Amino acid sequence: MCLPSRPRRAIASLLLALPLLCAAQGKLLLTGGVSTIEGAAGGGLTPWAVTGSYASAGEVGGSAYLTRVSSQDYSLNSFGVLVSLHDRAEFSLARQDFSTGPAGTALGLPGLHLKQTMAGAKLRVAGEAVLDSDRLMPQLALGLQAKRLDAGGLEATLKSLGAKTHGLDLYVSATKLLLAQSTLVNLTLRASKANQTGLLGFGGTASASLSLCPEVSVAYLISRHLALGAEYRVKPDKLNPSALGAALKEDDWWDLFVAWAPNKQVSITAAYVDLGSIVPGIVPRRQTGAYLSAQLAF
Amino acid sequence: MKHHLSIAALALVCLQAGAEGPKDELYQALGGKAGITRLNADFVPRLFNDARIKHIFKDANPNNLVEQLSEQICAASGGPCRYEGGAMKAVHADLGITHAHFNALVEDLQAAMDAAGIPFATQNRLLALLAPMHRDIVTR
């Protein structure tokens, strides 16, 4: 999109002025995590118990992100914002746009995009992930993500398979920075019936109940500015079997990531992701590829 | 899945094991008493010049602070020192220190350790010994 020069200049000066306007800088570098594809602060695929932005107690902060994941046959764009209050609560809003590629074409819906809107809230309930380095007690947070899917021409098919177009994920996260070892560990337990995080609806004829799925992240801090890590996310599999047999079988996701924060305003995360096969009945091959995310904090 | 979890668990066990060593290993890695005093001689002026927190140090004597911090870090890192300054909680009770102030001090210490050429992993081993003091120092 090409904006006329005056608004463009106004946006540029706003972005430049943000760090001056808002002084939510009380946390240490990278201790607010990065932005997940669902908008919450954490790793790339998994929310952590930390709150986003650099707002510490007594401060209000925010962040905005843009993420692109592309694999052999599909691509996902995600963007969103979050507000963090006093390093205690976090509220996020995010959008996902998934390009269905050859799967859409095979279903007679060429160019089909699945669009998902997600509102999230996270409350830190106990612990101090970073500074309580003499205790094993992690920081704990409770979170929820309310999701609504716009499946376009696929909606009738999903409904016939018993999948709803809205759903709620509930999770508890435990994050611990093992400071002496420069290593961060996170475990999240998510109760969810989202198919492919909700891009194929919620629940199915096989099961309409919530599944409890663990998600694990480990990150090693190479410097204050650089973290290297891995994540594994177990997913529910509510459309397997369906009226289409195992055609919609869902795999777990994992990634290897590097996150770089040159300062408290910007972070860039790059990852190799393995999404397993997505709709294997049509596109059997495994989907692997690149994940690239940019985040601005203020 | 199980496979991945056990790899993560194994990695943690290895990391814990890797932290073992002679009792004064960290003290030696910081350059002993001389290295620690040099570090604090650079660190303390950074505190007095940091707009975020210099008001907290307005009544402090920089030379005393260098000496006390050096004793404290020497003792914490396994060196042959005893910290004989005031108790952390009593000394900081009336200063109104926030988490943001505490983290600003951590950032100044990190900058001083960078300037002293102390490797990042060693920095974190020292910070891990000092960070729990936030519970006595942060009062609001």
CATH number of the domain within which B131 lies: 1.10.490.10
Token pair recorded at residue A67: 């993420």
Contact: B16, A181; criterion CB under 8 Å: yes
Residues of chain A with pLDDT under 70: 1-23
* B5 near A CB under 8 A: yes
* B10 near A CB under 8 A: no
Asked whether residue B6 is domain-assigned, the answer is: no
Number of domains in chain B: 1
- Annotated domain spans of chain A: 5-297
Asked whether residue B69 is domain-assigned, the answer is: yes
Asked whether residue B34 is domain-assigned, the answer is: yes
| CATH for the stretch A5-297 | 2.40.160.40
Nearest CA in chain B to A226: B120
Q: Average pLDDT per run of 10 along chain B, which is 140 residues long?
A: 52 49 91 98 98 96 96 97 90 95 98 98 98 95
* A135 near B CB under 8 A: yes
Residue A214: its chain B contacts at CB < 8 A? 1, 5
Helix locations, chain A, DSSP H: 5-21, 101-106, 155-160
- Could you report the per-residue pLDDT of A150-195, keeping only the tens digit for each? 999 999 999 999 999 999 999 999 999 999 999 999 999 999 999 9
* B1 near A CB under 8 A: yes
Q: Which element (helix H / strand E) includes B44?
A: helix B32-48
* Chain A interface mutation, best of B5, B53, B103, B126, highest count of A Cβ atoms under 10 Å: B103
What count of other Cβ atoms lies within 10 Å of the Cβ of residue A9? 11
Tell me the ipTM for this assembly.
0.89
> Residue B108 sits in which domain range?
24-137
Of A130, A224, A232, the CB nearest to B110: A224
pLDDT value at residue B2: 46
